[in-house]
Amino acid sequence: MNTGKKTGIKPIQQVLTGAFVISFSAVWVGVADVPATTSAFYRVFFGAVFLFIAAAFSGELKQIRPKQVLPYSLCGFLFALDLFFWHESILLVGPGLATILGNCQVFIMALCGALFLNEKLTPRFIFSLPIAIFGLLLLIGFNWAELSQSSIKGIIYGLLTALSYALFMLMLRRIQAHKEADLVYSPLLFVSAFCAMFLAVPLFLTDASFAIPTLESFGSLLALGLFSQAVGWIMIATAMPKIPASITGLVLLLQPFLSFLWDVLIFSRLTTLTHWLGVIVTLTAIYLGVSGKQR
């Protein structure tokens, strides 16, 4: 498939389309109307099925080596934590805020890089931290005493999403740094498969259920697996290396902004001018954090 090697136009369109597709992830979770663990499980289960078909047709399954199983399984475990916390946060505080909180992983990744990988933090990145905190306070509110217990719990889950997502991305980066073949589908396939296995455990051990109550729920979960777990991420993964690095940060902001917009338009989220200002300030800080990191 031609992804635009001659010009930067097609890859940019591809990665923007991928971000647009993934921005509906939280919407599908909200519409599915099932427990958080259930929706997270079916996201990666259906995604793994579609990715298996793509990997089989491309011949990538023949290139997997046994030594890759352990890092993929650890990556799947971290991704399971990320999805569990994020889907819980979506149900408690809504798709928009849950997604923005999760995208604060940018700061955690950079701090981990500075502490454990000898990466340097630039003044621009350090400046972005208080801006992000101020933006989140505008979005959440300065007085936590006025928040309900469910809202506080949802915010905590959103921050745990950022932590687990950052660890997942660091592990994924390590896998790709030692990748021995030009694989597109199979890495995400194995991560998704292991993630589904880990998420199935609490479904067996708790009152949560594998049951999909309605046809609408099934359609939402199928769309979540196909578009959010398979199509969207593959579009981004194959196009991102072909676009200018200066655009990467802006592209990363499209998904959380659109998720918040869908929350307002589809789920009628009550949003004031202060909330919109909080969204803009927080996303600006995330952009500064992304573009302010040194390699």
Which residues lie below 8 Å from residue 13, measured CB to CB, with a gap of 6+? 4
Domain ranges of the chain: 31-120+144-261
Check residue 38 and give its pLDDT. Answer: 92
The pLDDT of residue 3 is above 50: no
Check residue 244 and give its pLDDT. Answer: 62
What are the DSSP calls for the chain, one per residue? ----SS-SHHHHHHHHHHHHHHTTHHHHHHHH-S-HHHHHHHHHHHHHHHHHHHHHHHTGGGG--GGGHHHHHHHHHHHHHHHHHHHHHHHHH-HHHHHHHHTTHHHHHHHHHHHHS-PPBPHHHHHHHHHHHHHHHHHH-S-GGGS-HHHHHHHHHHHHHHHHHHHHHHHHHHHHHT--S--SSHHHHHHHHHHHHHHHHHHHHSS------SHHHHHHHHHIIIIIIIIHHHHHHHHGGGS-HHHHHHHHHHHHHHHHHHHHHHH-----HHHHHHHHHHHHHHHHHHHTB--
Rounded Cα distance, 25 and 259, in Å: 8
Check residue 181 and give its pLDDT. Answer: 56
Query: In whole numbers, what is the pLDDT of the chain averaged over residues?
Result: 83
The pLDDT of residue 24 is above 60: yes
Flag the least confident range among 8-22, 44-58, 150-164, 273-287.
Answer: 8-22
Tens digits of per-residue pLDDT, 77-104? 999 999 999 999 998 988 888 988 988 8
Tens digits of per-residue pLDDT, 34-45? 888 999 999 999
Tens digits of per-residue pLDDT, 145-157? 778 899 899 999 9
Tens digits of per-residue pLDDT, 219-265? 999 999 999 889 988 887 777 667 665 565 566 678 888 889 888 88
Is the pTM here over 0.75, yes or no? Answer: yes
Tens digits of per-residue pLDDT, 199-213? 999 888 877 788 899
Check residue 2 and give its pLDDT. Answer: 44
